[in-house]
Amino acid sequence: MLNFAVMKKFVLILSVLLAGAGSVFAQKSKNHNFEINRNLEIFSDIYRQLDMYYVDTLDADTVIGWAIQSMLKQVDPFTVYYSEDNMDEFKTMTTGKYAGIGAVVRYIKKEDRVAINEPYEGTPAQKAGVKAGDVILSIDGVDIKGMPVDKVTTMLKGTPGSSFVLKVRRYGVKEPLSFKIVRENIQLPSVPYYTLLPGNVGYIILTGFTDGCSKDVRRALVSLKEQGARSLVLDLRGNGGGLLSEAVEIVNFFVPKNKKVVYTKGKVQSANTEYFTRKEPLDTVMPMAVLVDRWSASASEIVSGSLQDFDRALIVGTRTYGKGLVQAPREVPYNGSLKVTTSRYYIPSGRCIQAYDYRHLNEDGSVGTVPDSLTRVFHTEAGREVRDGGGITPDVIVKPDILPSMVVELAVNDVVAEFGNWFVAQHETIAPAGSFDVSDQDYAKFVEMVKESGFTYNKRGRELLKLLTKSAETEGYSDEARGALNQLDSIFKGNLEADMERNKKEIKMLLNDEIVRRYYYQKGGAELQVRDDKELKEACKLLADEKAYKEKLHITD
């Protein structure tokens, strides 16, 4: 029989999505309202007939869930429906908090099990004695073999104060280990690391714009100034954004009160908002650089773009993602939530940096972008040219080194974690994070482990070679192309030992990170990164050259 409760739930959800609540989604045209009601009625009737006459029983949540997701794909990837069962994910995204053990897990193919990849320092997992590399055998007696990562993650989370027994297998230990762990509210660190670099350069890493992150940035900034910082680097690389209000608060640390940082424009009046700095700043003169990359998005672009428009900081790195859209949560019946795009945002110069047009796809279905030739020119307060339509273009472009494909494929291979397990069993302690380096002897052991694992690489090259060989056969050029194809085949097969020696520097950086995080956790990983950070070094160099810094920002004394 038709599940009327679920049917009602879906019609109510669609009503919020398409018809709206009250005046929020009111449309100008009666014809438009008719089209909405007509299509809702058609959908309802089709599902009713499927439920009554289809040969197999339908699962309403699954089928209608697919319909919802398909509908949302027609707008943009940032508009997301969270059912009651997924509200924990929504809360974690906005607050950075969740109740669990405080560890990242990963799937180990050879074991067909999930293992602890990295426990966070000071969390229940770390305090209980759980270590990176521990292979999970059971959770409260339930064998997790063959379970996907998301299922295991759900089992590890729960109500704060609740406890369970985690049983693991640890490398080098004969018998399984059991830990009684009490779940706690976990606050993901928004500022995992800050330090004073040589030359009195303050350095702050901000990983996300979660609720209260501006307070963490403020504490770090005040501490660095007390230590003698005379300039600052704010690292927003890989920061996908978050709360717009937190972005405004952070900008306020560096620009005067009553400055318009960002404003939004949407379909309805409630989506049109202006955001001003409301407090006295902490520092308006300290030379400053902001590090960005292609994964810096949304609130990261508001901060970097506003500081650029105010000529308050040099932006260093590569062009940002280009997300100029703002989302707001809307309640949905049955305790769900809809994170819906309600407006576009504009930074102080008046530009919107949205790069993707999700409503007008290319013929092949890909998302169209604004060509650089069609972007418009805007100006910073000092008259510097900046453009809209394609993210934030840095004032100083520093392209990161491109990792060889072999290193990229090693990074996601289980053999790196296996080496970490072996290394920890052999070394009780290691050098400080900032100076640690895998020895040549230990690197030789890793090469041996890679050979024994059967690791293969250049997978994409081999796939392309197969297509090229097939194409040559189809076109009748097999004989003429044989020599060239054989040469390419030899190249793509590679010489494992020779290639590992040629890429030794990059591979050792990968191994250093794996090892350091096992001893010094996230803070140690950040400290290690500083040592060989190309973009950070360039930013520090710019900040040290007062004349060049002022010239780039058009600052006059």
Catalytically annotated residues: 298, 309, 323
344 close to 354: Cβ distance less than 8 angstroms = yes
b/e code 349-368 from CB counts within 10 Å (16+ = b): bebbbbbbebeeeeeeeeee
Q: Which helix (H) or strand (E) holds 204?
A: strand 201-205
The Cα-based distances of 29 to 20, 33, 270 in angstroms read 14, 7, 20
Distance CA 295, CA 225 (A): 29
For residue 429, how many other CB atoms are within 10 A of its CB? Answer: 5
Task: Compute CA 192 distance to the chain's CA centroid, rounded to the nearest angstrom.
Answer: 15
Distance CA 512, CA 446 (A): 12
**Alpha-carbon Rg for the chain in angstroms:** 27
Q: Which residues, 6 or more positions from 120, have their beta carbon under 8 angstroms from its beta carbon?
A: 102, 103, 104, 126, 186, 188, 189, 521, 522
314 close to 213: Cβ distance less than 8 angstroms = no
Listed in sequence order, the DSSP H helices in 140-212 are: 149-156
Phi, psi of 506 (to 5 degrees): -70, -40
Which residue in 210, 273, 224 sits closest to 253, CA to CA?
224
Q: What is the DSSP string of 298-330?
A: THHHHHHHHHHHTT-SEEEES------EEEEEE
325 close to 76: Cβ distance less than 8 angstroms = yes
Q: How far apart are the first and last CA of the chain?
A: 79
Distance CA 11, CA 370 (A): 36
